[in-house]
Amino acid sequence: MPLHSLLDDTFTAADELNSVNKFKSFLDPEILEQAFEYSGVATVRRRRLPLDAVMWSVIGMSLFRNEPVWDIASKLDISLPGKNKLVAPSALVQARQRLGDEAVGRVFHMMAERTFQQEAFEQWCGLNLLAVDGVMFRAQDTQDNLTEFGCERNNHGDVVYPQIRMCSLMETSSHMLLASEFDSRQVGEMTLAQRLLSSVPDNSLTLFDKGYYSLGLLHKWRQKGEQTHWMLPARKDLQYSIKHQLNENDAIVVLKSTPQARNKFEDLPEMIEARLTSYQLDGKTYRVLSSMTDTLRYPYDDVVDVYTQRWEIEVGFREMKQGLHQAKLTLRSKKPEMVRQELWGLLLAYNLVRLVMLDAVKHTPDVAPTRLSFSLCMRQVVTFFISATIRSASKLPEHYEYLLETLRMLELPNKRPDRSYPRVVKGLPRKYPKKKNASQLN
């Protein structure tokens, strides 16, 4: 159900509702209750900072990245009435500890699953386009985080900031996150990708980076459900035999698995059929490997064009780091459980903004949700959340409709087809500044 309908149903009366009640239209109370019970944190005691208010404080840590953590609850006005209008910092710390990280992660997954079931996303050849990729986050330099997440070491053997590795599953036409898994930096992306299998929907095509080439993983992905296809760039040293040559640039091939892979994946057969497609772009030949062996349903021209959508997940990660977190590289929390809670809150905040952007373009089919400026839309959504604390509940649907009208005006200009973004390797940092020549000294 769209947010606008929920607002209409929720706020038909009662101007006395506080901000927690107003925000319930964005996070379904049923989802919150199920998540609290599932994680074992539900309680009948009514505190000044109830669990649903703490949930909004965790989300607010990403929406209000420049604000102190203890001030977010006061800014959103989500605490129940008490002697003092402001929330004590210690009260919020204790409230976050009561909530934990499992409940926030459960809310994220339940909300993402419901959104995917209710929204009509753009499809390719009858399939939803998904993408999988990994990203790293940096945690506070504390001994607990260092022990839990691990870190890299520089050339002198000195440790640097603890790092968390995340792997996410994203719907490319809307940038909505469907699932995410994260762990210490020692856990590889392949392992995290396997944990995403339970969230893969039927009738979907998942686009991988070439680093995810594993016949065991790809076979499990294809067997996960009905028409759960995959695609990734073919390695230069790919070993295969041609079963059927479709044309000079397209063939059905047979890939042979290794004994080591079959020991790791029990149901992995010795041979797997796949489709190897090659094409030329700017005089350079590219090859993609996929599970879409039905050439009638998935024509060559369509298969050649679709892999460019994989870069949408890179844009999504940039929106999270550059937009929500405003290029602040290090997370706030100093304890591992709170780090995980903060990351789940970041993903929830990102999906909430994306959900509002979906609502904004729902009745304008000519505008895709990814063509709206995420950073500008995020600022408007944050402003709406702040002003919701001082608006009457009965007027909130009207203000929400005005928010959607504002977002529709934030459309980005058309992409330049001739613009190039070549990948470059960053140079190593230098201990001393670069020496200037004589002409630069004058």
Q: Report helix angle 336-360 to 396-408, nearest 10.
A: 80
Residue 10 pLDDT > 60: no
Distance CA 405, CA 402 (A): 5
pTM of the model: 0.86
Distance CA 50, CA 63 (A): 20
Span between the terminal Cα atoms of the chain, in Å: 67
Residue 170 pLDDT > 70: yes
pLDDT of res. 16: 38
Distance CA 377, CA 364 (A): 16
Q: Which two tokens stand for residue 391?
A: 């608006």
| Spatial contact of 173 and 129, defined as CB atoms under 8 Å apart | yes
pLDDT tens digits, one per residue of 77-100: 666 555 456 667 777 788 888 888
pLDDT of res. 427: 73
Chain mean pLDDT for the chain: 84
Distance CA 70, CA 58 (A): 11
Q: Is 282 left (phi over 0), alpha (psi -120 to 50) or beta?
A: left
pLDDT of res. 348: 94
Domain boundaries, the chain: 3-105+334-408
pLDDT tens digits, one per residue of 417-435: 777 767 777 777 676 666 6
**Bridge partner list, 388:** none
Q: What are phi and psi of 79, to 5 degrees?
A: -85, 155
